[in-house]
Amino acid sequence: MNEPFMLEVDTYLKRLGYSSAPPPALATLSELQLRHTAEFPFETLSSMLYAPVHVDLPSVQDKLLCQGRGGYCFELNQLFLLLLQALGFEARGLTGRVVMDGPEDAQTARTHMLVLVTIEGVRYIVDVGFGGMVPTGPLLLDSEAQQSTPHEPFRLTLVDGAYTLRALVADSWRAMYLFDLQAVAEIDYTVGSWYVSTHPDSPFLGRLMVARTGHRLRKTLNNGSFAIHRLGEPSQRVQLQDADAVLKVLRDEFAIQVPEHPELRATIERLLASE
C-alpha cells in the first residue's frame, strides 16, 4: 500500500519567504500568489526533451522543492492548491481550455489547471502556472470589471456557464483561457498533462518555454529568444546564440537547476538552428 502523501509545508513556505504559517486571509493569498510566480518558474524542459512529466504529488513536490526545478500548470497549481488547503483556505482545482493566440471559440482540450478559492463567501480565481501571462494576484470570479494585479490588468466574463479570462496587453484585451466550475478529479490532471507532454499537436513538445515574474517585470524564454518585459516600457529582447548562453540564462535569470540529460545540449542547439 502506498503511504499517504505529506506536503512539506515548512519547506514550501520557507521557499516563499515565510518562517511560519500565515493566516488564510485575502492578503495572504495575494502575497502567496505574487511570491510563487517569482520563486517557481514556469518551464518545459522535460517536454522539450520528450521526457515524461509526472504529475503525481510526490514527483511534483520532489521536482519543485528538492530538484530546484519549475514546471507547468499541472505541477505548479496542483502543489499550490495543496499549500492553500494546508493553510486553511477553502480551495479546489478547476480545468480550462487555452485560447491565447487563437480564436476564442476554438474547442481546445482541457490542458490548463487553475484554482478556485472562497474566502468569507467571496470566490476568487488563482493561477500560478500560466507561463508568460500568469496573473500575479487573485481575481474576483463574480465580477466583470477590470481588475488590477501587480502586473497587467485582467477581467473575467461569463457566457452560458463558461468564464473567459482576458488580459490587457498593448491596449488590447486578449483572451487567455476559458473555464467552468465543474468538479475535477486527479485523473483529469493526469490526462491533461499526458496530452500536453506527449501529443504531437502540443505546443510544449520539443519546445523550450520558460517564464518568471519579478517586481513590475516578466522574464520569458522561448527557445533562444530571451526577453524582459517591464511595465510601461518597451520589451528588451536578445537572441541567444548557443546552448551555453541558454543554459546560463536558465540558471542566472530563472534560477533553474538544469537537469543532467545526455541530449540536453544537442536539443537546445537544434532549437536554435531552427529559428
Please indicate whether residue 127 is annotated as part of the active site: yes
- Domain ranges across the chain: 9-43+51-201
User: In the β-sheet with 162-169, what is the strand arrangement from edge to edge?
Assistant: 139-140, 122-126, 110-119, 90-98, 172-179, 162-169, 154-159
The gap between the terminal CA atoms of the chain, to the nearest Å, is: 49
Q: Which of 36, 127, 151, 229 is catalytic?
A: 127
Q: Which of 54, 56, 105, 112 is catalytic?
A: 112
C-alpha pair distances (Å), 31 with each of 110, 146, 197: 28, 20, 30
Q: Which of 36, 73, 151, 229 is catalytic?
A: 73
Res 1: pLDDT: 53
- Taking the C-alpha atoms of residue 174 and residue 165, their distance in angstroms, rounded to an integer, is 8
Under 8 Å between Cβ of 210 and 48: no
Please indicate whether residue 199 is annotated as part of the active site: no
Under 8 Å between Cβ of 179 and 97: yes
For the purposes of burial, counting CB atoms within 10 Å of the CB of 201, is it exposed (0-12), middle (13-18) or buried (19 or more)? exposed
Fold for domain 9-43+51-201? Arylamine N-acetyltransferase fold (3.30.2140)
> Residue-wise pLDDT tens for the chain (275 aa)?
567 899 999 999 999 999 999 999 999 999 999 999 999 999 999 999 999 999 999 999 999 999 999 999 999 999 999 999 999 999 999 999 999 988 888 889 999 999 999 999 999 999 999 999 999 999 999 999 999 999 999 999 999 999 999 999 988 999 999 999 999 999 999 999 999 999 999 999 999 999 999 999 999 999 999 999 999 899 999 999 999 999 999 999 999 999 999 999 999 999 999 98
Please indicate whether residue 56 is annotated as part of the active site: no
